[in-house]
Chains A and B, each alone.
Chain A
């Protein structure tokens, strides 16, 4: 039981440490998804919707 509690506490402490790191202003978050990326998503969905409509309409 004691071992189980210590492991749970260990995980909680490690999570807290990592979240504290992320809160720092200089934490290097990964490069963001850009507007250009969102545009390509819309183009990809749009073109394929068009293909589906063409196939459904014969």
Chain B
């Protein structure tokens, strides 16, 4: 019986069973620190350097903070139901996309999300190579990069296999390490390069772009960055004690703390540009270049451990997302499949090479879902879900739709994605296709169109197909 209780506890944590009051254990500060630890991973520096090349210092700060706050505040509104009913976003999405629709899109989005962990693994490899260099050991990056990157993924996978308790303790160290890295990097930047020099840097990427096009290209990166949290943002808030603490702890982490570290990455890139004439997205290179050997040694170690912790938390969260679509799959099996997949991405190394395209493509799938879930929660289902149908309990099939797919919901996702690529902004070629991009960005457009189409569909006779659960609402 004890093992059965353990099993139930495990399945509650992995989202297969709704959480009730007894499971809620996170105060505002518990949730804020846990989420911040996940949000301030070293990929923030990659993002910051990407944004910095387009803008002046003041415009960079507004671009990073404002676009992140606007979209994080909107995309996190569904946290209200995550706390109220103790369910993840993907459980509610069974009503919007259908059972098989969730299985398909949760897998696709997790495959995209794992690209971020390849970035973290390569930063780990880079930090280790620089560390070895500090001890006079020269490692060939072409050979040792993939080996050390895979080692990082392996160590992170072992943490993920350990489950939530191991992850909790890892995160306690992780948050301190990452905060220390951030403070050290800001300190080194301003010690090595005067603030006035950083503020006077002119954008490196001007090309044929007008100032407003550069501003919105940078905004596209920031909106895509904000969207990247959306599909995993509701996993932790289920543990929150109140709707208020769940929402504000999460939005302040993703909307303010993470952008602060992105801005740190931007400052770092500008400082390196002043010093060396090149934009640098790798904090380990910057640390090795701008700081004293002892300081560099300490901070490189922190970066290395932080990336291992990030791998562990990320593997756990993304495998839970896939599990919501395919509940029968073993969690441990998924974690090991993720290990091979992220290792392959790490060895390939293409995620950093095509960073702008990568984050926008992932956001183009997440964008329509953000728009649709906000419309569905507030306007269509008016904050009430048929939970028995959402959990596929026997005799409750309001969300089966057409062979497991909600054709209307799935159509809204794909129409939004295709229209955005063809007529607004093509993330693969990075071509602006329409002046509309200068108002909404490409990723923002997918959210607005996805939500708009879904709402318009609900004003037609299609509503009878979309909302067939009202007689089943009991909670």
Cβ < 8 Å to B, chain A residues 9-58: 10-12, 14-16, 18-19, 21-23, 27-34, 37, 41, 44-45, 48-49, 51-52, 54-56, 58
Q: Are B11 and A22 in contact (CB under 8 A)?
A: no
Interface of A is mostly: helix
Q: Are A31 and B243 in contact (CB under 8 A)?
A: yes
Residues on the B chain within 8 Å of A48, using CB: 65-67, 69-70
Q: Are A15 and B17 in contact (CB under 8 A)?
A: yes
- B53-89 CB mask vs A (1 if < 8 Å, else 0) is 0000011001101110110011001001001111000
Residues on the A chain within 8 Å of B328, using CB: 8
Residues on the A chain within 8 Å of B327, using CB: 11
Number of interface residues of A (CB under 8 A): 33
Q: Are A18 and B73 in contact (CB under 8 A)?
A: no
Q: Are B211 and A58 in contact (CB under 8 A)?
A: yes
- Given A16-B393, A44-B69, A51-B62, decide whether A30 and B241 contact each other with a Cβ distance below 8 A: yes
A37–B80 Cα distance when bound, in Å, is: 11
Q: Are A30 and B8 in contact (CB under 8 A)?
A: no
Q: Tell me how far the C-beta of B126 lies from the nearest C-beta in chain A, rounded to whole angstroms.
A: 33
Q: Are A30 and B83 in contact (CB under 8 A)?
A: yes
A30–B318 Cα distance when bound, in Å, is: 26
A15–B240 Cα distance when bound, in Å, is: 20
B358 at the interface (CB under 8 A from A): no
Q: Are A45 and B69 in contact (CB under 8 A)?
A: yes
Q: Are A21 and B20 in contact (CB under 8 A)?
A: yes
- Given A18-B18, A30-B83, decide whether A55 and B215 contact each other with a Cβ distance below 8 A: yes
Q: Are A52 and B67 in contact (CB under 8 A)?
A: yes
Q: Tell me how far the C-beta of B22 lies from the nearest C-beta in chain A, rounded to whole angstroms.
A: 9
A14–B17 Cα distance when bound, in Å, is: 7
CB within 8 A of B394: which of A12, A14, A52? A12
Q: Are B7 and A7 in contact (CB under 8 A)?
A: yes
CB within 8 A of A37: which of B62, B83, B247? B247
B332 at the interface (CB under 8 A from A): no
- Given A30-B84, A48-B69, decide whether A10 and B4 contact each other with a Cβ distance below 8 A: yes
- Given A44-B73, A45-B73, decide whether A56 and B8 contact each other with a Cβ distance below 8 A: no
A10–B3 Cα distance when bound, in Å, is: 12
Q: Are B393 and A30 in contact (CB under 8 A)?
A: no
B21 at the interface (CB under 8 A from A): yes
Q: Are B240 and A30 in contact (CB under 8 A)?
A: yes
A7–B330 Cα distance when bound, in Å, is: 13
B128 at the interface (CB under 8 A from A): no
- B241-280 CB mask vs A (1 if < 8 Å, else 0) is 1111011100000000000000000000000000000000
- Given A11-B16, A55-B59, decide whether A19 and B388 contact each other with a Cβ distance below 8 A: yes
Q: Are A10 and B475 in contact (CB under 8 A)?
A: no
Residues on the A chain within 8 Å of B242, using CB: 30-31
Q: Could you pull out 22 A-B pairs where Cβ atoms are within 8 angstroms?
A: A8-B328, A10-B7, A11-B16, A11-B327, A12-B391, A14-B8, A16-B393, A18-B20, A19-B474, A19-B475, A22-B387, A31-B242, A31-B243, A31-B244, A32-B84, A33-B244, A44-B69, A48-B67, A51-B62, A52-B219, A55-B215, A56-B216
The 4 closest A-B pairs by CB, nearest first: A48-B66, A31-B242, A33-B243, A55-B62
